[in-house]
Amino acid sequence: MDHQPKFFENLSGAGKAIAVLTSGGDAQGMNAAVRAVVRMGIYVNAKVYFIYEGYQGMVDGGDNIVEVSWESVSSILQVGGTVIGSARCKPFRTREGRLQAALNLVQRGITNLCVIGGDGSLTGANLFREEWSGLLEELAQKGKIDAEAVKKYAYLNIVGMVGSIDNDFCGTDMTIGTDSALHRIIEVVDAIMTTAQSHQRTFVLEVMGRHCGYLALVSALACGADWVFIPEYPPEEGWEDTMCVKLSENRARKKRLNIIIVAEGAIDCHNKPITSEKVKDLVVQRLGFDTRVTILGHVQRGGTPSAFDRILASRMGVEAVLALLEATPDTPACVVSLSGNQAVRLPLMECVQMTQAVQKAMDEGRFLEAVKLRGRSFENNLNTYKLLSHKKPDAELPKTNFNVAVLNVGAPAAGMNAAVRAAVRVGMTEGHKIFAVIDGFEGFARGKIKEISWGDVGGWTGQGGSILGTKRTLPAKYLEKIADQMRTNNINALMVIGGFEAYLGLLELSAAREKYDEFCVPMVMVPATVSNNVPGSDFSIGADTALNTITDTCDRIKQSASGTKRRVFIIETMGGYCGYLANMGALAAGADAAYIFEEQFDIRELQANVEHLTEKMKTSIQRGLVLRNENCNENYTTDFIYQLYSEEGKGVFDCRKNVLGHMQQGGAPSPFDRNFGTKISAKAMQWISKKLKETYRKGAGKVFANTDDSVCLLGMRRRNLVFQPVAELKSETDFVHRIPKEQWWLKLRPLMKILAKYKTSYDVSDSGQLEHVAMLPKEAETGAI
C-alpha cells in the first residue's frame, strides 16, 4: 500500500517516563533490547528507568528502579544474559505485591512499561495493566497517593518483547535468544561429530525445550541428525524398532557415527516422557553400539548473542518505544515481533492464548494440530527434516527418468553445501537422477560432471566453502561446450547455487535458448553469496555466517582497546559495492558509523563523524568503531579515512585499522545459513519437479521449456519465499555495480545512527499497524529459520 512516509520526529516522548525490565529465564540478546529501549527513549526526550531484578525489583522499589543515561548501556550489546537481572517473583502474583509495584511506579511518574520475557512475564504485565486504575484508586483511598496522581497517571501502557531461547511464543517467527542458543548447540554438535567419527560412536544429545521442540528440530536439520524427538510430534507406536533399523542401516552405509537429538520435553504418543537415558539404553541393548549421552543444559542460554539476535533485539527495542509513544488508553497491550524480516505489532493476549492452545492440544494428544498452531515455519522445518533424514528403499521411490544437474557458481559461501545436500536428497526422493557439476560453468564445459547419490552428501551441512568447487567464470564463452555436455548427459533441468555470477549466468543461458535447444529446460537459481547483493532476495546463503564473523571480530577488536587510552578502529568489510555487511555489521557490533556505496558521503560528513567521536570520547566511553565497505568510495579509501581520523583526533584518541578480508567467506556455516540453505534448496527442487512435469512433451519424448517463467530465482521477499523469472529482475538490477536498485536494509540505516547518538530521520511508515495473530501469513519463512 502506498502511503506517504511517516517520520517519528513528530513523536515526542517529552514528559513521558519509560521503564524497562527483563523477567523469566534469561536469553542472549536481552541486553541489546535493553540498550535499544534506553537509547531510543532518551533520543525522543523521554525519561528512561531500569527496573533491576524483574518484577521483584518493581515490588521492592528503592534502588531497584533507577533513571539511566546514554552511557549506562554502553558496551552491553555483546554481553549474554541480562545486565539488569531477572528473578522469579512470587509477591507480584498477589494483589498486594502489584499494589506496592504500582505505588513504586507512580512515585516516579512511570506509566510506560517495556517488558522483555516469556509468555508468563507478559501475561503478568497484561494483568497489571488491566488492574492499574483499580490499584491507583485503592492507593488513593489508603492515602498513599493524592487524587491528582490518580488522574495524571490514569493509564499504564505496556509493550512486550519475547526473550526466550525456546522460540515457544506464537505470533513471532523468532524470539530473542533462539538463534544464539542454536549457535551454542551447533558448536557442540560439530565438536562431538569429530570425536564420534574417531570411535564409531552414537551420541544422544539432550537440548532445552520443555514444551517446544524448536531447538531440537532446527538443530537436527542443521546437523543432519539421524533421529529427533520433540514434544509436538511424538514417534509412532513401535518407534524403537524403526529407529534401530535406521541406525544400523546408516552404519551399513559406512557412516561412522550416529547423532540423536532429544528435546527435554520429548514424549511418546501416550504422553509418556522419552528421556536421553532411555534412548541410550535402547541403542546399547538392541544394537550394542558404543553410545554416550551429552546434556547441553544451561550452556544453551550462555555466551555472546549472535549477530541475528543483536539486530533482532535492536529493531524490537526501537519498535517498542515507538509503540509506547503511539499507545492510547484504547490500544491493547502489544508485543513487537518479527514476521519474515519485518517488525510487526500483535495484541499480547492473542499471542498468549495461541501459545497456550498449543500446549492444550499437546496435552490432549492432538499433535498434528499442535504442529499447525506452531506456525508454517515450524511445519516446514518438520516436513523438510522428514524429507531429508530418511532414505526410502529404492523400490518405493518413483522413477521419472529426468536428469537434474546441480552446480555452484561464484565465490564460495558458507551454507552452499547444505543447499547441495538438500537438492540431491529431495531430487532423489522425487525420482530424478542428480548430477553434480564440479567447478561451476567452467567445469561443466570440460565435462566435469558425475552422478551423485544420497550417501555422497552425508555430513555436508556443517562444511564451509563449496565441496563441489566453484568458479566465477560465466557461461557465455563456453555455450557450445555446455550445450554438448547437456546433450551427452541428457540433462533436463539445472539448479544453480551461487551469487551475482549465477544470476548473470542464467540470463546468458536463457538468452542462448534461441540458438541451443539444450537450454530450453527449467532452470532455477538459489542465491548464495556473503555480499547479499542478488536482486530478488532479501537474504542470501552465506551472508549470516559472514555477519557473525564480522561481529565476533569487532567484539575482539573492541576488547583489545579496553584498558588502553581512547582508541578508534577503522574496519573494512567485503561486499563489493553492496553495503549489507558493513551496515548490518555496524548495527550488530554497535559501531559509530558505517560508510557504504549506497549512501554517498563527502568530506563534510567525515568531518562531522570525527567531531562526533571526539565529543563521545570526552565522556566515559573509551572506544570508537567505524566500518567501511570495500568499494564505498574510490577516493576515500580505508587508508585515507584512517589518516584523516588519526590527524583530526590527535590528542583525543588514536587510530587503528583492520581489513577483514577472506575470513568473511570461510568458517563453518551458521545455523541460519544451514537451515536457510536446506529449506530454500528443497523448495527449489520441488519447483523443478513441477516444471519438468509441465514442460515434458510426450510426442517428442523430451522436456521443452522456453518461456521466461521457466528460468527463475527463488528469493526471500519480506515475508515469503517467491519464484521470480530472472528476465523480470533485470529492471531491478544495477548491473554496473552488481547490486539491486532497491535494498530493504537501507531502512535500518537510521537505526544504527540513532543508537550511536546521531540526529536523523527514521521512516516508520511500515510500523504502527496492529495486526492479528490469525491473519499472519505464516509462510513468513525467515527472518526465522
CATH number at residue 285: 3.40.50.460
Angle at 293 between CA 287 and CA 294, to 5 degrees: 150
Q: Do 523 and 646 fall within a single domain?
A: no
Could you tell me which residues are annotated as the binding site for Mg(2+)?
119
CA dihedral 518, 519, 521, 524 (to 10 degrees): 150
1 lies in some domain: no
End-of-domain residue from the set 284, 300, 316: 300
End-to-end CA distance of the chain: 27
779 lies in some domain: no
Min mean pLDDT across 5-9, 303-307, 466-470, 561-565 is at 5-9
Query: E strands along 332-411, which residues?
Result: 334-339, 342-347, 403-409
Q: Buried b vs exposed e over 522-554: b needs ≥16 C-beta within 10 Å? A: bbbbbbbbbbbbbbbbbbbbbbbbbbbbbbbbb
- What total of structural domains would you count in the chain? 4
Contact call for residues 343 and 744 (beta carbons, < 8 A): no
Q: How confident is the model at residue 775 (pLDDT cuts 50, 70, 90)?
A: very low
Mean pLDDT of the chain: 92
**Cα–Cα distance, 527 to 511 (Å, whole number):** 20
In this predicted structure, the answer to whether residue 134 has a pLDDT above a threshold of 90 is yes
Using CA atoms, how far residue 162 sits from 222, 229, 328, 355, 782, in Å, is: 24, 25, 22, 12, 17
365 lies in some domain: no
518 CB-near residues (< 8 Å, 6+ apart)? 482, 483, 486, 487, 491
Q: Do 292 and 409 fall within a single domain?
A: no
Contact call for residues 246 and 407 (beta carbons, < 8 A): no
Q: Do 50 and 99 fall within a single domain?
A: yes
- Give 391's DSSP letter: P
Helix, strand, or coil (residue 181): helix
Q: Do 221 and 184 fall within a single domain?
A: yes
674 lies in some domain: yes
In this predicted structure, the answer to whether residue 742 has a pLDDT above a threshold of 70 is yes
Q: Do 206 and 352 fall within a single domain?
A: no
**Cα–Cα distance, 18 to 41 (Å, whole number):** 7
DSSP 735-760: TTTTEESS-GGGGGHHHHHHHTT---
Provide the pairing of β-strand 227-229 with 334-339: unpaired
Q: What is the mean pLDDT of residues 112-137?
A: 94
Q: What is the mean pLDDT of residues 294-322?
A: 95
Q: What is the model's pTM?
A: 0.94
Contact call for residues 782 and 719 (beta carbons, < 8 A): no
Contact call for residues 530 and 574 (beta carbons, < 8 A): yes
Q: Do 256 and 341 fall within a single domain?
A: no
Chain centroid to Cα 615, Å, comes to 35
Q: How confident is the model at residue 780 (pLDDT cuts 50, 70, 90)?
A: very low
Q: Write down the H helix ranges in 375-415.
A: 376-389
Q: Do 19 and 140 fall within a single domain?
A: yes
pLDDT for the residue numbered 782: 46
485 lies in some domain: yes
Q: How confident is the model at residue 242 (pLDDT cuts 50, 70, 90)?
A: very high
Could you tell me which residues are annotated as the binding site?
25, 88-89, 118-121, 164-166, 201, 208-210, 264, 292, 298-301, 472, 529-533, 567, 574-576, 630, 656, 662-665, 738
- Give 264's DSSP letter: T
- The neighbouring-strand residues paired with 739 are 734
Query: E strands along 675-755, which residues?
Result: 696-697, 702-703, 711-717, 720-725, 733-734, 739-740
Contact call for residues 65 and 45 (beta carbons, < 8 A): no
In this predicted structure, the answer to whether residue 607 has a pLDDT above a threshold of 70 is yes
End-of-domain residue from the set 300, 334, 368: 300
pLDDT for the residue numbered 10: 62
37 CB-near residues (< 8 Å, 6+ apart)? 18, 20, 48, 114, 317, 320, 321
In this predicted structure, the answer to whether residue 519 has a pLDDT above a threshold of 70 is yes
AA letter at 749: R
Domain residue limits at 243? 178-300
Helix, strand, or coil (residue 558): helix
Could you tell me which residues are annotated as the binding site for ATP?
25, 88-89, 118-121
pLDDT tens per residue, range 345-392: 999 999 999 999 999 999 999 999 999 999 888 999 999 999 998 888
Q: Do 470 and 404 fall within a single domain?
A: yes
Q: Do 685 and 707 fall within a single domain?
A: yes
User: How many residues appear in the chain?
Assistant: 785
Min mean pLDDT across 192-196, 221-225, 280-284, 631-635 is at 192-196
In this predicted structure, the answer to whether residue 781 has a pLDDT above a threshold of 70 is no
Could you tell me which residues are annotated as the binding site for substrate?
164-166, 201, 208-210, 264, 292, 298-301
Cβ count near 630 (within 10 Å): 21
Q: Do 209 and 240 fall within a single domain?
A: yes
Cβ count near 678 (within 10 Å): 29
In this predicted structure, the answer to whether residue 746 has a pLDDT above a threshold of 70 is yes
Q: What is the mean pLDDT of residues 592-599?
A: 96
End-of-domain residue from the set 644, 665, 686: 665
Q: What is the mean pLDDT of residues 23-49?
A: 95
Contact call for residues 721 and 540 (beta carbons, < 8 A): no
**Cα–Cα distance, 655 to 197 (Å, whole number):** 46
Provide the pairing of β-strand 47-51 with 65-67: antiparallel
CATH number at residue 107: 3.40.50.450
755 lies in some domain: no
Catalytic residue IDs: 166
**Cα–Cα distance, 742 to 722 (Å, whole number):** 17
**Cα–Cα distance, 197 to 213 (Å, whole number):** 26
442 lies in some domain: yes
Using CA atoms, how far residue 749 sits from 319, 365, 744, 758, in Å, is: 14, 47, 10, 11
Q: Do 61 and 128 fall within a single domain?
A: yes
High-pLDDT (> 90) share of the chain, %: 81
702 lies in some domain: yes
- At 344, give phi and psi (nearest 5°): -135, 160
With CA atoms as reference, report the closest residue to 316 among 352, 350, 353, 341: 341
Q: Do 143 and 76 fall within a single domain?
A: yes
Min mean pLDDT across 19-28, 551-560, 577-586 is at 551-560
Chain centroid to Cα 338, Å, comes to 10
In this predicted structure, the answer to whether residue 578 has a pLDDT above a threshold of 90 is yes
